[in-house]
Amino acid sequence: MIRVLYAGSPEPSSKTLALLAENAAPAGFEIAGVLTNPPSAQGRHKELVPTPVAVFAQEHKIPLFTPEHLDPGCRSQISAVNPDILVCFAYGHIFGPKFLQLFRFGGINLHPSLLPKYRGCTPVNAAILNMDRETGISVQIIAQGMDEGDILAQEIVNLTGSETAGSLLDYSAAHGATLLCGVLAFCGKNGALPEGKTQTGTASYTKIITKENGRINWSRTAAEIDAQIRAYTPEPGCWTTEKDTPLRILSAHPSDSPELSVPPGTVVSFDKKQGILIQTGRGLLAVTMLQRQAKKALDAAAFMNGAKDFIGTVLK
């Protein structure tokens, strides 16, 4: 039975870890240890909060490693649990050759895109933002170049145009776990990884997302703004300004109602079935959930009950 060191940090990664742990024995492997980021300071009181992956490891009494750096001391500690292979999903750090030498089968990485498209840290967001009709999930060999390793398994994911980054990451976490189990089962049975396939096609790279990426430019089309909102849900979220005050737009969809000859960003009406209708550069956007600064999130109807003068406002 091969021994796996799992590396990851955010909530979707913990879901993949949970599924791997659940299916480990039938697939012929075991989770020997978990590598994740150190606890981070969160909230007003800056309390140290462990990553979701760390929480799962602690609850299931799996050896846990939370180093700041993958230095010699860290490598020595990890070597002590005798791992055979590194499995990574959203750990967020580069593995150097000395670290990868700890594993006789090397390392494999779960990446939620159809590599080589959307290499880098935000592939799910990019697929939604670009309104792609399909994306994918890839299991690849960890190489020194960013997401350049050979492909061991890959699955196409058809997109409906209603996905958020959160829902698509959850899907990738679950289906990616199935792909990983298949690769690990093959490795345990044959004593080697499956033969990898060299990536083909034009590579593209994604970038780190900041809060400013979530600012809405109302001159863009309703479809583009809808994609932006979904691509940045749940993080970092999309926002605009109402009389110079931030206003978060939490969910919306393009409306088929006739657009008006008013400046983009103008709140034109409220429709009980569709939501708050806002003029864009092309088409109306129907906003269904929004949130004023320091206030709770409200659906469109509840928001309008307390914002009688909102119609006619020009959002910037």
Question: Is residue 186 over pLDDT 90?
Answer: yes
Number of H helices, E strands in the chain: 8, 15
Please write the tens of the pLDDT for every residue from 237-260: 999 999 999 999 999 999 999 989
Residues 6+ apart with CB under 8 A from 94: none
Transcribe 39-89 into DSSP letters: PEEETTTTEEE--HHHHHHHHTT--EE--SS--HHHHHHHHTT--SEEEES
pLDDT digits (tens, 9 = 90+) for 205-239: 999 999 999 999 999 999 999 999 999 999 999 99
pLDDT of residue 226: 98
Distance CA 276, CA 288 (A): 7
In which element (H, E) is residue 252 found? strand 245-255
C-alpha to C-alpha distance for 252 and 229, rounded to whole angstroms = 8
